[in-house]
Amino acid sequence: MIAFIAGQSAPPGKQMGHAGAIISSGSGTAQEKVQALISAGVRVAQEPSEVPLILKEQLSK
């Protein structure tokens, strides 16, 4: 599985993208979502353009 979380580059206090849209009571930030996915064994792309590169890498294993 590969994931990309939008809103990672948002400045503190500013919500951008879907990840920012569902922050509730100060929890559920983009970085918290990235860490949760990584903890679950999911590769997380930092940029959307990394998704095909990660996919190609995983398929070649």
Mind giving me the DSSP string for 15-54? --HHHHHT-BTTB--HHHHHHHHHHTT-EEESSTTHHHHH
pLDDT for the residue numbered 33: 87
pLDDT for the residue numbered 22: 55
pLDDT for the residue numbered 61: 86
Distance CA 61, CA 54 (A): 11
Q: pLDDT digit string (tens) for 14-34?
A: 665 554 455 555 567 788 889
H/E segment holding residue 14: none
Q: Which residue in the list 2, 6, 13, 18 is annotated as catalytic?
A: 18
Q: Does the annotation mark 27 as catalytic?
A: no
Could you report how far apart the first and last alpha carbons of the chain are, in Å? Answer: 14
Residue ranges of domains in the chain = 29-60
In the predicted model, is pLDDT for residue 49 greater than 70?
A: yes
- Looking at the chain, the whole-number percentage of residues with pLDDT higher than 90 is 51
Distance CA 46, CA 61 (A): 21
Averaged pLDDT for residues 4-10 = 78
